[in-house]
Amino acid sequence: MATTMAEVARRAGTSVAVVSYVLNDGPRPVAAETRARVLKAAEDLGYRRNRIAAALRSGSSGLVGVVLPDAVNPYFAALGRELEKALTAVGKLTVVANSAFDPARQSDAVEGFLAAQVDGVIVVSAGGDEDPVARARAADTPAVYLHHRPPGSAAVLVAPDNAAATVMAVEHLRSHGHERIAFLAGPDDHGPVGRRLAGWRAAATGGALLRSEFTRAAAARLTAGLIAENELPRALVVATDEQAIGVLAAACAAGVGVPGELALVGCDGTPDAEFTAPSLTVTAQPLSTMAGHAVRRLLGAPPEEERLVAELVRRRSCGCPQPQLQ
């Protein structure tokens, strides 16, 4: 049987009400000595707070729903980890759903979170025209988009300057003497990758625009074809690290030297990038800062003045010296 507050109260020599104030952080203050006694009794008895009962009493579940497009993708996995850290810091428990880049599944996940009476929802949009954050806010549940939101949505969005990240990558490759710098985009120009593409176009590199799906396999197939046709660019900015890893794999398989014959920069900054061969230079998105901004906006804070800008992490794939592994 689960330990009750009454048992904790008896062990601590106090009332159930005082135990409730301690374990629920209010609404009334408790003397430090009494608080310590209650917490010790709860630990000794193995008391576990009944989150459902607490939610019924307080009107707050302490849960925040997070919808990710793909928790296996290293970029979204890293972003999800930073969100969980930021939510834990404010006393919230994170519940994660995967949309698998399916707008219908994304909407279903948000509806499920609303039915569970979460305290808020953070959505990394899977694309499509549906606006589940608007529905959440219509139900008086705080909700924000992170990284991307549907076109036409007026909901709060926390996102970095993706165009600036690409310009940074282009300028770095130019510093290595490259003039014609190609760009590997996705299959269309929507969302953050579309803004990265816009940055590349604004930088006027004169290089080729390439496209593939956002997978390692698709980028590897494209690269193998370019190598076979002797059309591989000399310098390349890649929209995502997943695609960049595919490019590296195909170059290695064909005996193409990186950075000697192909200089490469990715635009995500996922953990895998440090351990490719050669290690991948990236414009690393500020995932921790993005997550902190999203959580604060979820809790009602006003927009922050800080501009979210990627950091250039120099590694071997662009021609910089090989850094030591951290």
Q: Is the pLDDT of residue 270 over 60?
A: yes
Q: Which residues of 190-199 are buried (b: 16+ CB within 10 A; e: fewer)?
A: ebbbbbbbeb
Q: Which residues contact 78 (CB under 8 A, 6 or more apart)?
A: 270, 271, 287
Burial of 291 (0-12, 13-18, 19+ CB in 10 A): buried
**Could you say which of 3.20.20.70, 3.40.50.2300, 3.10.270.10, 3.40.640.10 is the CATH number of the domain covering 60-158?**
3.40.50.2300
> What pTM does this model have?
0.82
**60-158 and 162-285+309-318, same CATH topology:** yes
3-state secondary structure 145-176: EECCCCCCCCCCEECCCHHHHHHHHHHHHHHC
pLDDT at residue number 56:
47
In the predicted structure, residue 249 carries a pLDDT above the cut 50: yes
How far apart are the C-alpha atoms of 113 and 64, rounded to whole Å? 8
Q: What is the pLDDT of residues 56-100, one digit of tens each?
A: 455 567 899 999 999 899 999 999 999 999 999 998 999 999 999
At 25-61, the pLDDT tens digits run 777 888 999 999 999 998 898 887 766 555 545 556 7
SS3 of residue 235 by DSSP: strand
H or E element, residue 93: strand 93-98
Instruction: Assess if CATH 1.10.260.40 describes domain 5-49.
Output: yes
CA 318, distance to chain mean position in Å, is 25
Q: What distance in Å separates the CA atoms of residue 21 and residue 28, rounded to the nearest whole number? A: 6
Give 160's contacts (C-beta < 8 A, 6+ positions apart). Answer: 285, 286, 290, 308, 309, 310
Four-way CATH pick for 162-285+309-318: 3.40.1160.10, 3.90.650.10, 3.40.50.2300, 3.30.530.20? 3.40.50.2300
What is the per-residue pLDDT across 147-186, written as a single tens digit (0 to 9) for each?
Answer: 999 988 889 999 999 999 999 999 999 999 999 999 999 9
Q: Domain segments of the chain: what residues? A: 5-49, 60-158, 162-285+309-318
